[in-house]
Structures are given as C-alpha cells and as structure tokens.
C-alpha cells in the first residue's frame, strides 16, 4: 500500500464523481468504479476490465485499494469454515461461515484483538491492536459470501458481529460497514438479518437508539448478577447491570429492534437454579426476544469448564418452565477453534 495515497473506498459516490470530473473524465465513470468496488467486489484496479488501461493506471497512481485477503481456511467436520484474513498491514482477523439447513451465517470480526479482556474468551487474552476500517469489515462479509456460494451454493442469509473485538468500541466503522452491506449497490442484505453483539457498552447502546439503527442487538450477558459478571467481564465494573438494563430499554423504545441475550454456561459458576432465577429476573426487565444458552468451549488460558449435558438441559428446562424463550446452542466448529470465544489467530 502506497502510504500517501487515499483509500478509494473511503470516497463517497459524489466525491468519486468530483474526482473524475477533475481529471477530465465523464462523471459516469464514477458509477462504474463504485460498482466495481462494492457490488462486484474488485480487489484491484486491474480487475476493472471495462475501464481503459490508462484510466486504471491513473487510479493506481492516485489511490490505493487495500483489499482484505484470505490467508488460511479450515473446515470443520460439521461444515463450519473458519478463515483467517490478512489485512493490508499484515494484521490478521478471523471470520467464520456457519452453514445450517436453513441459514448461511457469517460471524465477523470488528477489531484486531480486543481491549475488554473477558476471562473466558481467547480474543480477550490478546491486546487490541487496532479497529477494522468499514471497508475491511465489508470485505470479510463479501469473502464469506463468496465462500457460502462456492461451498454450499447459497448466499449468506445472516451476519453476526460476534467475532474478534467489541463492535460498539468501533462504532463508526461498524455502522458504516452495515450501511454498505445493506445498500442495494453493496451486498443488499436486510438489516433484520444482521445482529451486532456487545459485551455491554451502555453509552453506545443508547447511541444506537439515537441513531435509529435497523439491525438487531445481542448482549453477551453470561452472568446475571454484578459480582459474578465483573469477575468474568471487567467491563461490568464501569457498565453494571442496572445501567445495561436501562440502556437496553432506551434502545428498544427508540428502535423496537430485536434484543437477545447470550449466556455461556460455565460449570459450577453460573449454571445453578439460583443463577437461572437471576437470569429470569433480568429477562423480565428487558424486552428481549430470546436467550441463547451456549455450550462453553474451553480455551487454553481460561479456568472454566463446560457443565455436563444434564445440567445444561435442566437449566434450559427451568428457563422454559418460567416462560423464558430460551434456546440451547450447541457449538459449531470446535475442532478448528472456530466456536464462540475461541477466535485468537492460533498459529
């Protein structure tokens, strides 16, 4: 990447039109290039074959196109595909394609590493290196979409921002990437098929409400009282459950978008009847549609274990008996470290 040149994907269509006029080209060229960049997902100027060689050369001299590249791909026995993506500065992030009979879900990263240090998460043991730009997040989705088409013959149906990083600490880029992902001249996906997952940055959850976003929100809850939550998620010290509940109600009032909770079960930590009672209490205070109960996937550094399946099922039954819409999510891609909480650029 030539460091002085501007990233062409950071130009809006009107700015691109202005550029073409300034070099004596017809404004419609801007639309052609914009289409190559977003709709056709070209990863180089050379690929823009309906432009003259001279024009491609000119673009090359004035701009850079730092497209994300697939570095390595691993496929799980259950069909889950984990990809490691190389960014222009050689940082790596991971993304996962999770196929089921009815869905092709992409799980994408929003930061290189993470600053929130959740105690059960492999990414939390890495430092946060930098935020991803919106075009880099877009690339992840577009590349996973290509994978879905080539491996399973279907386009992506859903996107979850549950990979590496805290999306709400990279707010502007995440929102801008979703604008491009949902734009008709981008990937044209419905915002209702997109879920942003947060560890609970209350101020930014309110901001989502103020910005009237149209995508769904998932909260990584994982413990339903402040003491336990702070023990495993340091962010709870500055964003406690009371603040989180107030922010979620604010968000819902402003947008009426779906809210769900993610709750990983840890053996002898948050899997008792008392824990379930506390979870039910929180659920009743938030207009949440769903609680996803997630099987824990052990990672090297963490002290937690997964409960036996009977405990997990009893926990589920107890929630259901108390009219909580809960679903037990068996993890996918465990054999390739692609499951929830396992993304850490191993190797």
Binding site, annotated residues for [4Fe-4S] cluster = 114, 118, 121
Q: Phi first, then psi: what are they for 53, rounded to 5°?
A: -60, -40
Q: 30 or 259: whose CB is closer to ligand SF4?
A: 259
Please identify which residue in the block is written with the tokens 């336990």: 228
The CB-of-116 to ligand SF4 minimum distance in angstroms stands at 4
Q: Where are the alpha helices (DSSP H) in the chain?
A: 13-22, 28-34, 53-62, 134-152, 171-182, 202-210, 226-232, 241-255, 273-285, 309-321
The CB-of-39 to ligand SF4 minimum distance in angstroms stands at 31
The DSSP H or E segment spanning 216 is strand 216-220
Candidate residues 140, 166, 271, 337; the one interacting with ligand SF4 per rule CB under 6 A: 166
The CB-of-220 to ligand SF4 minimum distance in angstroms stands at 6
Q: Is 313 a catalytic residue?
A: no
Q: Are 120 and 130 in contact (CB under 8 A)?
A: no
Q: 60 or 240: whose CB is closer to ligand SF4?
A: 240
Q: 16 or 96: whose CB is closer to ligand SF4?
A: 96
Among residues 54, 61, 94, 256, the one annotated as catalytic is 94
Q: Phi first, then psi: what are they for 327, rounded to 5°?
A: -135, 135
Which residues, numbered 212-271, are part of the site for ligand SF4 (CB under 6 A)? 220
Q: 45 or 120: whose CB is closer to ligand SF4?
A: 120
**For residues 126 and 215, what is the distance between their CA atoms, to the nearest angstrom?**
28
* Beta-carbon contacts of residue 12 (< 8 Å; ≥ 6 apart): none
Could you tell me how many residues of this chain bind ligand SF4 (CB under 6 A)? Answer: 12
The CB-of-4 to ligand SF4 minimum distance in angstroms stands at 33
The CB-of-205 to ligand SF4 minimum distance in angstroms stands at 14
Structure token pair of residue 165: 């990083």
Q: Are 118 and 232 in contact (CB under 8 A)?
A: yes
Q: 59 or 118: whose CB is closer to ligand SF4?
A: 118
Category of 283 on φ-ψ map: left (φ > 0), alpha (ψ -120 to 50) or beta: alpha
Q: Is 107 a catalytic residue?
A: no
The 322-341 contact track toward ligand SF4, x by CB under 6 A, reads: --------------------
Measured N-to-C along each axis, helices 273-285 and 309-321 cross at an angle, to the nearest 10 degrees, of 40
Gyration radius from the chain CA atoms: 21
Candidate residues 141, 199, 282, 302; the one interacting with ligand SF4 per rule CB under 6 A: 199
Which residues, numbered 104-163, are part of the site for ligand SF4 (CB under 6 A)? 114, 116-118, 121, 123-124
Q: Are 252 and 295 in contact (CB under 8 A)?
A: no
The 50-89 contact track toward ligand SF4, x by CB under 6 A, reads: ----------------------------------------
Binding site residues, ligand SF4, CB under 6 A = 114, 116-118, 121, 123-124, 164-166, 199, 220
Instruction: Tell me which residues are annotated as active site.
Output: 94, 340
């Amino acid at each position: 990447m030539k460091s002085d040149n501007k990233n062409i994907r950071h130009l809006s269509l009107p700015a691109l039109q202005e550029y073409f006029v300034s070099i004596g080209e017809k404004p419609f060229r801007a639309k052609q290039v914009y289409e190559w960049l977003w709709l056709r997902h070209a990863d180089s100027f050379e690929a823009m074959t309906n432009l003259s060689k001279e024009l491609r050369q000119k673009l090359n001299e004035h701009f850079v196109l730092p497209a994300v590249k697939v570095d390595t791909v691993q496929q799980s026995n259950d069909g889950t595909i984990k990809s490691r993506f190389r960014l222009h500065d050689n940082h790596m992030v991971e993304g996962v394609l999770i196929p089921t009979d009815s869905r092709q879900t992409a799980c994408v990263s929003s930061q290189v590493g993470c600053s929130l240090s959740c105690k059960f998460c492999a990414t939390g043991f890495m430092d946060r290196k930098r935020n991803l730009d919106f075009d880099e997040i877009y690339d992840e989705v577009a590349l996973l979409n290509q994978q879905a088409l080539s491996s399973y013959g279907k386009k992506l149906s859903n996107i979850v921002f549950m990979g590496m990083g805290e999306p709400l600490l990279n707010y502007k880029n995440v929102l801008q990437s979703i604008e491009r992902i949902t734009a008709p001249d981008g990937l044209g996906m419905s915002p209702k098929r997109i879920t942003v997952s947060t560890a609970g940055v209350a101020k930014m959850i309110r901001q989502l409400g103020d910005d009237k976003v149209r995508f769904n929100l998932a909260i990584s809850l994982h413990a339903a009282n402040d003491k336990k939550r702070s023990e495993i998620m340091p962010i709870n010290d500055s964003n406690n459950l009371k603040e989180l509940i107030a922010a979620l109600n604010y968000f819902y009032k402003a947008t009426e978008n779906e809210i769900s909770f993610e709750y990983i079960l840890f053996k002898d930590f948050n899997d008792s009847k008392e824990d379930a009672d506390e979870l039910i209490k929180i659920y009743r205070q938030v207009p949440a549609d769903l609680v996803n109960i997630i099987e824990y996937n052990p990672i090297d550094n963490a002290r937690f274990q997964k409960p036996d399946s009977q405990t997990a099922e009893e926990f589920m039954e107890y929630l259901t008996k108390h009219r909580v819409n809960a679903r037990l999510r068996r993890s996918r891609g465990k054999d390739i470290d692609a499951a929830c909480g396992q993304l850490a650029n191993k190797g």
